[in-house]
């Protein structure tokens, strides 16, 4: 009985904390989009100075913001989600497959609490989408038809896990 009550209290606290995180992520995203709408330029994203393979690949992915989504494309001027990841890591000498399910099986699985810039973040039960984690609840991805490579909040509601690619 006590354990059930404590578990329920913990669940309520976790939901409240997640709501605050989502609100902060939305505010960061809204500010970034406001800068874009006023200047026509994407805001600078300050990354940690880590010189990891993931951080290097992330810089390449960010350089493609604004490029169109094309299903099956892997660059250099159009991408689908797994194609963006494949291309970004190829720029730093790492070969990845062009399928989210196969990318899920590469590298080392990491917890949400341990995410670092450049980690691959996966979504939906069928592992149907992938992006590169930036930090502060943001990712860069090639989302869908009619959209472009962009920075957006991580879709925590459909998040299934993350992989760190190691050289």
pLDDT of residue 52: 86
Backbone angles phi, psi at 135, to 5 degrees: 135, 165
Q: Which among 127, 105, 121 is positioned nearest to 155, based on CA atoms?
A: 121
- The Cα-based distances of 127 to 96, 105, 149, 159 in angstroms read 16, 11, 19, 9
Task: Look at residue 7 in the predicted model and tell me its pLDDT.
Answer: 64
* Confidence band of 54 (pLDDT split at 50, 70, 90): very high
Q: What is the CATH number of domain 45-164?
A: 3.90.1720.10
**pLDDT at 103 (0 to 100):** 97
Distance separating alpha carbons of residues 9 and 29, to the nearest angstrom: 30
> In this model, does residue 8 exceed pLDDT 80?
no
89 with 96: CB under 8 angstroms? yes
**For residues 39 and 43, what is the distance between their CA atoms, to the nearest angstrom?**
9
Query: Among 22-31, 104-113, 139-148, 155-164, whose mean pLDDT is lowest?
Result: 22-31
Q: Residue 23 above 80 pLDDT?
A: no
Rounded distance between C-alpha atoms, residue 38 and residue 145, angstroms: 25
Grade residue 28 by pLDDT with cuts at 50, 70 and 90: low
Mean pLDDT of 12-37: 58
The full set of domain ranges for the chain reads 1-41, 45-164
pLDDT more than 70, % of the chain = 69
Compute the mean pLDDT over every residue in the chain, rounded to the nearest whole number.
Answer: 85
């Amino acid at each position: 009985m006590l354990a059930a009550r404590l578990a329920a209290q913990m669940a309520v606290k976790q939901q409240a904390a997640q709501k605050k995180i989502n609100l902060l992520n939305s505010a960061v995203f809204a500010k970034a989009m406001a800068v874009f709408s006023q200047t026509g330029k994407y805001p600078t994203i300050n990354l940690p100075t880590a010189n990891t393979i993931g951080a290097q690949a992330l810089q390449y992915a960010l350089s493609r913001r604004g490029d169109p989504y094309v299903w099956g494309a892997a660059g250099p001027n159009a991408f689908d989600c797994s194609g963006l990841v494949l291309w970004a890591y190829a720029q730093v000498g790492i070969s990845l497959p062009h399928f989210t399910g196969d990318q899920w099986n590469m590298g080392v699985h990491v917890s949400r609490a341990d995410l670092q810039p450049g980690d691959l973040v996966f979504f939906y039960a069928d592992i149907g989408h992938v992006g590169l984690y930036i930090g502060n609840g943001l990712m860069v991805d090639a989302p869908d038809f009619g959209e472009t490579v962009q920075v957006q909040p991580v879709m925590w509601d459909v998040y299934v896990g993350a992989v760190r690619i190691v050289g």
